């Protein structure tokens, strides 16, 4: 789940502009979104935590644990307004703006998620698990699963389900290297760190023999390299490294990291693929 990878980035001297220095703007023609803290761009993890808190409060109840989504708390929590949250966006380095499905990330497992979970086998590492809807669902089904998340206040669904969690970076120390039969990169997390080849190369030694990486891609979006940022509710995040891959761009990146595309499929407008070591 967005945005997390390595250290956040921002263009020198241009906190409210695109990284190429061209004018910034919104799809609806309104003035550029501005940061809310003394003119400074916000930390992406903190901003995302607040968004998820807002989405959880609109959901009203934790769909997995059966109680209010109140575990989202702290200084970055956003109070409910009683209406649907304003759309949140990801601005790319080339100026394109994509809507982010924050409510889905904070909600229950859906039909498209199930097509991913049906392909899971053995010990499962859920990289960038976010609130942890997939980690929680697998744990409740008796799977050997570990959710990996960088933001300490984000994985509330996994915690509510009692699922195992590791707070940390996928490029850091990860336990049970060589034992994971499935690594999940759901919700576009193949973009973590801004370099899909580097990320897949990091995952390869974590996989057990015959293991698979199950990833979600961005339908209809061409490749984008370079920093991105979060925008919504009158604020912006700092720029941070991320990459987008469409399905037709995946084979080249996978091959460069020693993988091959074993299967691809679509469900509910979302695109997925299974990668096997070549």
Question: What global pTM score does this model have?
Answer: 0.81
Residue 61 has pLDDT above 90, yes or no: no
> Would you place residue 68 in the very low, low, confident or very high pLDDT band (cuts 50, 70, 90)?
very low
Torsion angle of C-alpha atoms 147, 153, 154, 156, degrees rounded to 10: 70
Out of 3.40.50.150, 2.70.70.10, 3.30.360.10, 3.40.50.1970, the CATH code matching 44-76+83-277 is 3.40.50.150
Q: How much is the pLDDT for 54?
A: 83
List, in sequence order, the alpha helices (H) in 124-249: 133-140, 156-160, 196-203
Helix (H) or strand (E) run with residue 222 in it: none
Q: Are strands 227-232 and 235-236 parallel, antiparallel or unpaired?
A: antiparallel
What mean pLDDT is predicted for residues 243-263? 95
- From CA 126, how far away is CA 214, in angstroms rounded? 10
pLDDT of residue 59: 54
Q: Mind listing the pLDDT tens digit for each residue in 168-218?
A: 999 999 999 999 999 999 999 999 999 999 999 999 999 999 999 999 998
Q: For 153-182, b where at least 16 C-beta lie within 10 A, e where not — what string? A: bbbbbbbbbebebbeebbeeebeeeeebbb
DSSP letter at 242? B
3-state secondary structure of 56: helix
- Characterize the bridge pairing of strands 270-277 and 145-149: unpaired
Tell me, rounded to whole angstroms, the distance of Cα 229 from its chain centroid: 13
pLDDT above 70 covers a percentage of the chain that reads: 75
- The region of weakest confidence among 13-27, 34-48, 203-217, 261-275 is 13-27
Between the CA atoms of 221, 225, 229 and 231, what dihedral angle is there, to the nearest 10 degrees?
A: -20
Q: Nearest-CA neighbor of 265 among 277, 250, 253?
A: 250
| pLDDT tens digits, one per residue of 109-164 | 999 999 999 999 999 999 999 999 999 999 999 999 999 999 999 999 999 999 99
Tell me the C-alpha distance between 12 and 31, whole Å. Answer: 21
Backbone angles phi, psi at 254, to 5 degrees: -65, -45
Quick one: what percent of the chain has pLDDT higher than 90? Answer: 64
Mean pLDDT to the nearest integer, 12-40: 39
| pLDDT tops 80 at residue 41 | yes
Where residue 27 falls among pLDDT bands split at 50, 70, 90? Answer: very low
Task: Return the SS3 of 134.
Answer: helix
Q: What 3-state DSSP class applies to 46?
A: helix
pLDDT of amino acid 80? 32
Tell me: pLDDT of 18 over 60: no
Mean pLDDT of the chain: 80
7 touches 194 (CB < 8 A): no
């Amino acid at each position: 789940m967005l945005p997390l990878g390595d250290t956040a980035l921002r263009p020198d001297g241009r906190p409210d502009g695109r990284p190429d220095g061209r004018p910034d703007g919104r799809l609806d023609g309104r003035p550029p979104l501005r940061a809310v803290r003394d003119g400074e761009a916000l930390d992406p993890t903190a901003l995302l935590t607040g968004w998820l808190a807002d989405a959880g409060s609109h959901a009203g109840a934790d769909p997995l644990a059966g109680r209010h989504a109140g575990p989202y708390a702290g200084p970055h929590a956003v109070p409910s307004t009683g209406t649907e949250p304003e759309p949140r966006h990801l601005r790319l380095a080339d100026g394109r703006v994509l809507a982010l499905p924050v409510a889905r990330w904070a909600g229950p497992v859906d039909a498209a998620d199930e097509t991913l979970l049906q392909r899971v086998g053995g010990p499962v590492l859920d990289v960038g698990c976010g609130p942890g809807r997939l980690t929680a669902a697998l744990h409740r089904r008796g799977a050997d699963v570990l959710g990996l998340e960088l933001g300490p206040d984000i994985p509330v669904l996994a915690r509510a389900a009692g699922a195992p969690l590791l707070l940390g970076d996928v490029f850091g120390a990860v336990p049970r290297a060589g034992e994971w039969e499935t690594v999940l990169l759901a919700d576009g997390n193949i973009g973590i760190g801004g370099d899909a080849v580097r990320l897949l190369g990091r995952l390869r030694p974590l996989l057990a023999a015959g293991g698979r990486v199950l990833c979600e891609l961005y339908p209809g979006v061409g490749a984008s390299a370079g920093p991105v940022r979060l925008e919504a509710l009158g604020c912006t995040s700092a720029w941070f490294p991320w990459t987008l891959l469409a399905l037709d761009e995946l084979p080249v990146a996978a091959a460069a990291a020693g993988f091959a595309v074993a299967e691809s499929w679509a469900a509910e407008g979302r695109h997925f693929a299974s990668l096997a070591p070549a």
